[in-house]
Structure formats: C-alpha cells, structure tokens
Amino acid sequence: MDNFTALEFDKILEKLAENALSAAAKNRCRELAPSLKEAQVKLWMDETTQARRIIEQIGTPPLSSMAELHQVMNLIAIEAMLVPEQIMQVLSFLASCRRMKRYLKKAEATDADIAWYGGSIDELAELENEIERCIRNGMVDDRASARLGDIRRQIVVTNDQIKAKLESLLRKNKAWFSESFVSMRSGRYTLPVKREHKKDVAGTVIEMSNTGGTCFIEPASVGRLQSELYALQIEEDSEIRRILYSLTALISGNLATIKHNIETMETLDFLFAKGKLSILMKASPVGMNTARRIRMENARHPLISRDSAVPLNFEAGGDNKGVVITGPNTGGKTVALKTVGLLSLMAQSGLHVPADEVSDFCLNNLVLCDIGDGQSIAENLSTFSSHMRNIIAILKQADQESLVLLDELGSGTDPTEGMGLAIAILDELGAKGCLFVVTTHYPEIKEYASMKPGLVNARMTFDKESLMPLYQLEIGEAGESCALHIAERLGMPRQMLQRAHQAAYGSKTDEHRSAAQQNNSTPNRAAATPPRIVKQEEPEPEIQSHRDKFNIGDSVFVYPRKEIGIVYARSNEKGEIGVQVKGQKRLVNHKRIKLFVPASELYPEDYDFSIIFDSVANRKARHLMGKRHVEGNVAITKEGDNEK
C-alpha cells in the first residue's frame, strides 16, 4: 500500500473527479499530486479560492461533459464526413462556450483572475448559426438549402399520389385483400393480396406473410410513381450529403479554435471542480510555508461525517519537530494521524482543507507513513515484520524536508524489545531533522518524549466518568493509564491495582530518562537523494513565467477588443507586457494577452525588429550615426492614454 492510499488521498481525488464533468478534467483530478514549488502551490490554492468565490457569487458554471467531442475532432482531422448527431455535439459545445464566456464576464466583478479565461474562449457565432439553420432535431432541415426543400416537397406529393392510387384499388376490390390498408414492405408501397387473388393484381410480389396466405404486391399501376419516388430519394440523399460535407468543412476550418476552446473549458472544469469540492467539504484556504511548521485549527477528517467528527487542533515544528500521541485504543489516535497527513497532501496539492483559515501547512518533499496492519499473506510476513519493513524503508528516504507518520510504533512484538525499537526509531527521526508524528501505547515512550529535546507529548482525551474517549487531542500532555483507571472504576481491589502498576512500570523509566538526556543523534544512512522543495523567490515565478511566455515579435490578441498586436517588450515587475497595436505602443496586463502566432514563425532568427518598432526617421538617424538598435529604447504610453 503506497502512502497516498494509506492516507486515503486517492479517495479525495475521486471525490474531486466526481465534481468534474469532462473526461479530461476527471483524469486531471485523479492525477493531481502535491507540488514541491511554493509559488505553484500558492497559485493552485488561490485558483481554488477564486473558483469557489465565483460559484458562490455567480452560480453554477455552465459546463458540459463534452462526451465524444474529441472523437468528432479526430474524424474531422482525417476529413471524414460528420453525421447530424456529431454536428449537434459540436453545436452543443459552441453553445456551452458562449454561455461560459458570458458567465465569466459576470465573474469579473468578483475580482477573480480565472475569470479572464473568458478572453481565451472564442465565440464562433457564424458557425453556430449555420449549424442551427441546417440541423434540426438531429436531422438535416428542409431550410438547409432551397434544393433540399424542393426535393422533399416533391417526395411528399409523389407519396400522396401513390397512396391515393393504392387506396383506390383497395376500395374497388375489397374481396381481393386480406387487410384494408396500404402496407410498407422493404421500403416499397404494397397491397396485402389474398393468395387466391394473386393473379388478379398485376404487379411484383415483394414479400409473403409467415403463413403464406397473403402476398404483398406492388401494383404495376404505381410502378412509374415508385420509380420517380426512388429517384427523388436518391437526389435527397445526395443533397443531404453535400450539406453535411459543407458543414464538416466549416467546422474543419475552425478546428484549431475549437480545440483551443476545448482545452480552456477542460481547464475551467478542473478549476471549478476544486471550488465545488471546497463548498461540499465546507473547507477553507490555508497558509503554506517552507519553515517546517504545521498548525491545524478545528481540522476535520474530510471522509468522516461532519456531524460525528470532533475538531482537531494540532501543532508541530520549530523546537518540537516530533509529536508522540498516546491515549486509549479507539480513542482517535489513528484518525488524528491520518488527518495530519491527508490535510497536508490536500493543501500541498492546492485544495482547500476542512480546517479554519488560520491553519498553516508546510511543504514536504515526501509524506511517509506506516499506518494499519499491512500484513501480507502472500509474502508470509507478520504484522510486526510488515511494520519493520515499512519503517526501514521510511528511514532510508526521510530527510529534513519530510513528514513521517507512524502508527502504534513498536507494536506487534515483545513489549520490552518493541519499546526499545520505538526509542531507537524516534532518535533516528530526530537526527534526520524531519517532522514526525507517532502514536504508541507504551508508557515508557511518553516519559522518554517528555525528557528528549525536540519531542513533545500529546494525548487523546478520555472521560473518566463515562469511561468513553472524547477524541480530542491535547498537545503537551501525555496520555494516562486508562486501563488501570477503568479497572479501578469497575471495582478491582486497590491492592491488585498497586501490584499491576508496579508490574507494569516498576523503575524502568529511570534508564529511559538517562538515555533521553544523552546526545543520541544517529548519522544518516546512505539513501537515494529525495526531491527538494523549491521556495518562492523574487521575482515571483508567476511573473517570470509570463516573461518567458511571450517573446519580442510574437503576434498576440489583446482583450477585451481582441485586437492583434506585436510584443516589443517582455513583462515588467508589474506583469505588464509591451505591445504595439496599430502603430501605438502600450503596456498591457499579461492576463489580457493571448498568443496568436509566435515570432519564430513570422521572422527569421536574426530579424531587426527596429524595422517594426522604430520610426523611419529614427532608423535613418541611427544608421547615419553608426549606432545599432537597443531593445526597449522606445517611448511608451500606458494603455488607454491615446485610445479614442
């Protein structure tokens, strides 16, 4: 069992996927993993906050599943003709894009950056209108072309003429027929003639009844009309195919834009799934740090009912990197341990967590845990062997940037040896400098933790009156011997209790106290180099990414007017990019710019951009003075200064 599964992070991702509609967004939800980059985690968290704010203030986003849409795009790519049902899928998607664009326009009032995704959605109104004109109720409509309308009118007239002739025959010679209505057989109009009157009706036998008593005959008198009808139906089919090919070509001409819209809608589907999950879990955005601190206020395990979950307050880091939790069995120790690990993974993945907003989580390069039985019958491993195998692997991987969670440390073997192993493991974790939380039932361990620098005790509280666990964690307090207390409350004689206490504890704690006071740091064993956390630095990676995203000479769209311009200067510290539009230089916020055509596709490698960005007079003067162009040495105006 891997760490994500042990902490049930996979179940959180599945819940996240349930809030997405498109297959691509669902897959992205299931593949979400913690990031080691501080700036990226904070950006992800902020996007979740923005998505939730938009949903709460504007309403449910108009997303669709986009089922089969990728298959339709693949058919277009190989120049296959789309059938009406497939064209209707494109129409449905175009309508969804139009609604989403208007939704995000309203969302701009929420001051959410992700609302600017609306600028990346291109409305294809002409294509949408043409499809609506040609396709109706999953069929090519009569209005799709004048010729199709004319052909279909002729088909109706011819059908009526055939029916009239056949009904006339039925009325004149009722005794010849087994039924009094015209029957359609194999796509042809026929009369149900009794077998004994077969020779009385001139025509072609199309089918026989199961009993053989009825012949379905196409009378010769309607043969000419039937031929005309077949010819009209062939013309109709040909015209329908021409219209479908025409619509397919229109869609193909907008294929790149449609694919871009699909990617944008799938991204929005993923972002809004995070916002929906936050609302469902009544979760909050939390702080992220690289200072190796965890602080949880009123945290809840997200997979436990809110009504039954007791809020958890927890803190680790600073001088106390290790927390030893003691308390009664079924007292909530394992749930507390899982809550710390699971919420850490959620926060580092940019998800809101069910805790107060003042909570703060550190980035971890690894979250390593040994929780549960883990017994393997196939490998013939006992519970203790399984735990030891996991812990040895954990100790090889952990370092000062890791979070380690160990449940029931030292259990499953001889108590004396188990306690000794537990102390050795605590020492090793302390020497590695990682954050760690362990649960244990050994009383010697809590005594050891109280004396060992860097360790702090915690306990799950217990109501001594009702003899019931309270499932509340208290940092700085060691758990008491609930077993002896329960025995006393149930009437065990005091003399027996004293002997039990002496047999259980004796004077062993002295040797552990002296061991804890020694400098028992253990050198780290050689192991594979674990991943490293990337702290946020100046300039912020988000701004830097926009500096790298656009190059001098790139052709770009400038929203909201969707004007085409050329980049003449990269992003400054405010995230503004220099764009020349219709000969005018502007500074435009990077969120309002979308790449149209990269410079590498427009100009040769050594192209002199002064030809575009500088005046003829300046270029002549510079040429005469023998000076070469200096990038960025231009006069600029703030966007809007010269707009009419």
Q: How confident is the model at residue 603 (pLDDT cuts 50, 70, 90)?
A: confident
Identify the residue with better confidence: 546 or 224.
224
pLDDT of residue 575 exceeding 90, the answer is no
b/e code 247-271 from CB counts within 10 Å (16+ = b) = bbebbbebeeebeebbebbbbbbbb
**Between β-strands 455-463 and 435-439, what pairing exists: parallel, antiparallel or unpaired?**
unpaired
Q: What is the mean pLDDT of the chain?
A: 84
Question: Going edge to edge, which strands form the sheet with 637-638?
Answer: 593-597, 555-558, 563-569, 576-581, 584-589, 637-638
Q: Report which DSSP code applies to 142.
A: G
pLDDT of residue 569 exceeding 80, the answer is yes
Strands (E), 371-475: 402-406, 435-439, 455-463, 468-475
Q: What's at 538, amino acid-wise?
A: E
Identify the pLDDT of residue 531.
Answer: 84
Per-residue pLDDT tens digits for 273-299: 999 999 999 999 999 999 999 999 999
Give CA angle at 263 (558, 20), nearest 5°. Answer: 125
Per-residue pLDDT tens digits for 42-72: 999 999 999 999 999 999 999 988 988 999 9
Identify the pLDDT of residue 512.
Answer: 44
Residues 104/109/115/120 CA torsion (nearest 10 deg): 70
pLDDT of residue 514 exceeding 60, the answer is no
Sign of the alpha-carbon torsion through 184, 190, 193, 195: negative
Q: What's at 413, amino acid-wise?
A: T
Identify the pLDDT of residue 379.
Answer: 43
Q: How confident is the model at residue 165 (pLDDT cuts 50, 70, 90)?
A: confident
The label of the residue with tokens 């009157």 reads 197
Identify the residue with better confidence: 309 or 150.
150
> Angle formed by the axes of helices 255-280 and 84-107, to 10°?
60
Query: Percentage of the chain surpassing pLDDT 70?
Result: 84
Total-model pTM: 0.74
Instruction: Compute the half-sphere exposure of residue 363: CA atoms within 13 Å on the CB side of its CA.
Output: 23
Query: Percentage of the chain surpassing pLDDT 90?
Result: 47
Identify the residue with better confidence: 158 or 636.
158
Identify the pLDDT of residue 525.
Answer: 44
Q: How confident is the model at residue 166 (pLDDT cuts 50, 70, 90)?
A: confident
Measure the CA–CA gap between 16 and 523, rounded to whole angstroms: 42
Measure the CA–CA gap between 364 and 404, rounded to whole angstroms: 10
Per-residue pLDDT tens digits for 323-346: 999 876 666 888 999 999 999 999
Measure the CA–CA gap between 309 and 439, rounded to whole angstroms: 19
Instruction: Average the pLDDT over 234-246 and give the result.
Output: 97
Identify the residue with better confidence: 616 or 321.
321
pLDDT of residue 171 exceeding 50, the answer is yes
Instruction: Average the pLDDT over 612-618 and give the result.
Output: 63
> Angle formed by the axes of helices 415-432 and 383-397, to 10°?
10
Per-residue pLDDT tens digits for 587-599: 888 878 888 888 8
Identify the pLDDT of residue 467.
Answer: 56
pLDDT of residue 628 exceeding 50, the answer is no
pLDDT of residue 627 exceeding 50, the answer is no
Q: Which of 28-32, 407-411, 493-497, 498-502 has the highest mean pLDDT?
A: 28-32
Instruction: Average the pLDDT over 171-194 and give the result.
Output: 81
Question: Phi, psi at residue 477, to the nearest 5°?
Answer: -120, 140
Identify the pLDDT of residue 219.
Answer: 84
**Between β-strands 593-597 and 584-589, what pairing exists: parallel, antiparallel or unpaired?**
unpaired
Q: Report which DSSP code applies to 84.
A: H
Give Cβ neighbours of residue 470 (< 8 Å, ≥ 6 apart).
310, 460, 461, 462, 463
pLDDT of residue 482 exceeding 70, the answer is no
Domains of the chain, each with CATH number or no CATH: 3-124+254-280 (1.10.1420.10), 146-225 (no CATH), 287-517 (3.40.50.300), 541-638 (2.30.30)
Give Cβ neighbours of residue 232 (< 8 Å, ≥ 6 apart).
151, 154, 155, 158
pLDDT of residue 633 exceeding 70, the answer is no
Cα separations (Å) of 110 from 116, 443, 559? 11, 54, 18
Identify the residue with better confidence: 491 or 23.
23
Measure the CA–CA gap between 385 and 148, rounded to whole angstroms: 78
Within 10 Å of residue 411's Cβ, how many Cβ atoms? 17
pLDDT of residue 150 exceeding 80, the answer is yes
The region of weakest confidence among 102-116, 191-205, 600-614 is 600-614
Identify the pLDDT of residue 376.
Answer: 42
pLDDT of residue 513 exceeding 50, the answer is no
The region of weakest confidence among 31-35, 350-354, 424-428, 606-610 is 606-610
The region of weakest confidence among 75-84, 123-132, 165-174, 602-611 is 602-611
Coil/strand/helix, residue 391? helix
Instruction: Average the pLDDT over 480-507 and give the result.
Output: 73
Per-residue pLDDT tens digits for 130-143: 999 999 999 999 99
The region of weakest confidence among 105-114, 243-252, 535-544 is 535-544
Measure the CA–CA gap between 556 and 571, rounded to whole angstroms: 14
Q: Report which DSSP code applies to 207.
A: E
Instruction: Average the pLDDT over 467-493 and give the result.
Output: 71
Q: How confident is the model at residue 636 (pLDDT cuts 50, 70, 90)?
A: very low
Identify the pLDDT of residue 615.
Answer: 61
The region of weakest confidence among 169-178, 434-443, 592-601, 626-635 is 626-635
Instruction: Average the pLDDT over 477-494 and give the result.
Output: 71
The region of weakest confidence among 14-23, 95-104, 218-227, 472-481 is 472-481
